[in-house]
Structure 1
Amino acid sequence: MIYWILKLILGPILAALWQPRAEGVENIPLHGPAIMVGNHLSVADHFFGALPVPRKINFIAKSDYFSGTGAKGAIARRFFRGAGAIPIDRSGGKASESALRAGLKVLERGELLGIYPEGTRSPDGKLYRGKTGVARLILEAKVPVVPMAMINAEKIMPPGTTVPKLGIRPRVRFGTPLDFSRYYGMEDDHLVLRSITDEIMYALMQLSGQEYVDRYAKVVKEELERAAKEERKAEKAARKAEEKQRKQEKGV
């Protein structure tokens, strides 16, 4: 109920301020379970991706969105749950198995499940290597798989921002459903899982027009964060050296 109330309220606002466009909505099944696989550019993906879909999409989301404290954390948890988000722990192992089970429950109810194979938001607008968990889910669920490509969402809410920018028109393209029935029963074969995942990422690349990078987005993010940290450290050291030099000059 909260999902539809939010959509009823936010839908006209998003449509009026950003005038989003959608293509290929007819590729989404009107009834029954299906997995919506998408690229992940921004938190705005959750909103603009679901806006043109006449059904509720239950997005798998990182547990950080639900672990905040105080009034702000409580509001965030209620909002994301109401918006159809399913919290998962991305640490791997038993946590990954738990995420798989949660996704299967959604599909067993005959609903739509949204998942971002990259596992995290792109740090620079490029498309990164997908994680194979989505392939396992596809083979166990045996349901239609619809690629969902977001375009321009990262320009509306770049990483680190909380206020969306106006004047940018987002688009979402829903591709032709992907058929992986030839792999049913092979969910324990890692080469099969990688093949399925790569096929999904190729479809998203074709739909979105993004440059593909055969590396995990999380690894690239960590490298960028370390580089930024080192740069700040160097700048701080340079300022200290300049200050020390000025003091020495004054002493002379």
Structure 2
Amino acid sequence: MPTAREIEKCLFALAPRDGAMDWDNVGLLVGDPEAEVSRVLVALDATQAVAEEAIEKGCQLIVTHHPIMNCKWLPVQTLREDTPQGRLLRRLTRENVSVICMHTNLDVAAGGVNDELAAALRLEDPGPFLEDGLGRIGHLAEPVPLADFAARTAAALNCNGLRYADAGKPVYRVAVGGGACGEYADVAAAAGCDTFVTADLSYHAFLDAAGKGINLIDAGHFPTEDPVCRVLIAYLQEQFPALSVEKSASHREAIQYYVKGESDYVRTF
């Protein structure tokens, strides 16, 4: 059976380490590099639920997109049982479960997060639209109304819901940025895109969309990145046929939506 180190090396062949942003933390972040691995659980995040699922299923390794620690939004300063992150890390180490994370290096990699997102939305001829390889621009087979494309996006990504802003244009030339890429809306507009699909957009991004002449679709962080899990599963199964590799059944979109229906109304007095 392969070791955690060998699996890490193989994943870096898919998404090279030097593609990661300088603040990022990728690779084998938890565990013994020489530990043998026979079962792998793949998820977007290494949450407590994912850890418990891995332990219950007898997995020696979790492979995720988002780093489990030491990145700009989740720095590790303590390892205490009475903190959520400390409890998770202690649980993993007690059970000898390793964690490998492929983050911004997988965003920019060929066949990674953004290529898979472009494929899910049926974009043709996708290519990077930023110098660092982040994001993709492609086009549809034919122009469609924004409302139709939004519905198609929600179905393709299995969204609980999505937010969008209509700049009054049909959808044809589309930029995508899996996860929080709202800062690149201006770049997408300057590249001649009529629509930008990403996540975690601010109020002002929607407010300014019409003036910038670009439709915006916020399809959610989890839905725009989760499709890459199937890439990781297929790749690991191809490279290590003896491995048992499966997607987490416990990790799913955390955001739920209440949508006001036609029967609802606001009463004024």
Structure with greater strand percent: 2
With the length of structure 1 as denominator, give the TM-score of the two structures.
0.28
Structure with greater helix percent: 1
Structure with bigger RCO (C-alpha 8 Å, 6+ apart):
1
